[in-house]
Amino acid sequence: MPLAQAPIASPFGHGSQAGEVIKGIDLKGKTAIVTGGSSGIGVETVRALASAGARVIMPVRSRKAGEDAAAEIRASTGNDAVEVADIDLADYASVRRFADAFVATGTPLNVLINNAGIMATPERRIMGGIESQFGTNHLGHLLLAAHLAPALAKGARVVALSSIGHRRSPIKFDDPNFETTPYDKWEAYGQAKTANALFAIELNRRLEPKGITAFAVHPGGIMTNLQRDMSKAEIKAFGWVDDDGNVRDGFKTTAGGAATSIWCATSPLLAGGGGVYCEDCNIAKLVPDDDASFAGVRSWAIDPDAARRLWTLSEKILDEKLSV
C-alpha cells in the first residue's frame, strides 16, 4: 500500500545535507542512475551515493561536463565506480538507446533518480511539437524509467524531482503543449512539475506489488544553473537575491538540495511503501489548493486518477505503449 501523505518522525529536516542523510547507509554492490548529475544538486546526489559505495552512472547531455564532474567525485569519495554515459532527455531515441543498452547488460538497478530539469524556458518545441518543459522534465524521464523498468531490482527506489512550482498548474489535459492557449513559461513549468509528481504516484501503483517504490521530491530553493533561462532582473524581482547578488535566507546549499532525494532513495523509514511527495527529508503535508505558504503539496499533484490519466496521455503523445 502507498504511504500516507503526512509527515513522519524523521531525524532530518530543512537544513540537512546529503552527506548527513547518507551516513551509515551501505550501498556497496548497488547500482544507481542519476540524470543531471554533472551540475547543481545532481553533483551532490551522485557524490552522496558514491560515498556510500554505490556504482553510479551519470547519463548526461554534455559529455565533457559529465566527465569533469565524475572525475572530481571519484577523487573526493575514493569511489572509482562513477561512470558517464550519453543521453538527451529531449531526444527520445537517445533516451531509449541509453536505457535499452543498460537493460541489455543484465545489471540490476537499485536506485533511479530523475534529477535533471529545465525551468521557465522561452517557448520551445521538441520532438516535432511537444512543449519543451513538459517534454523534457516529464516525458523524457517517464520514457527513461519505463525502459529501465525491466532492470529494477526488488527493493529498488525511483525518485522523481518535482518542485513547489507544481502549485502553478495542474495538468492541462486538453492542451498540455500550449497549442491553443497562450504559452506561459511558469504555467508550463508548473504543469511539468505536477507531471513529475503524478508520474511517481502512478509508477508506484504499477510497481509496488513487485517491491519497487517511487517518490516525488521537492528539493527546496537552491541557486543553480536551473535558473539559466531567467534574467538577473527577474531573479532579483522574485526576491531570490538582494541588490548585491547575495542569495536570500532560506535557500539551500546544493548538498542541502540533494538531501531529500537521498533520503527518499535510501532511508529505512520509507521501507514500507512509496507513492508520496516529499520535502525537507520528510513526507510533505497535504495543503489546501489555495494555500499560500511555501510548504506542502496540493491535491492535484497526488491525485491517483489524474496520475493514471496522465500516464495514458503520455503514452499517446509518445506513441508508445509502455510495458510497466
Residues identified as active-site: 189
Place of cell 499533484: 301
Closest CA to 263 of 220, 296, 301: 220
**CB of 33 closer than 8 Å to CB of 109:** yes
Find the DSSP H helices in the chain.
18-22, 40-51, 63-77, 92-104, 132-133, 141-148, 185-207, 232-237, 254-266, 304-318
Could you please report the per-residue DSSP string of 113-162?
Answer: EE-----SPPS-EETTTEEHHIIIIIIIHHHHHHHHGGGEEEEEEEEEE-
d(CA 111, CA 309): 26
Maximum distance among all Cα pairs of the chain, rounded to whole angstroms? 53
In 3D space, the residue among 123, 223, 140, 226 whose CA is nearest the CA of residue 179 turns out to be 123
3-class secondary-structure state, position 163: coil
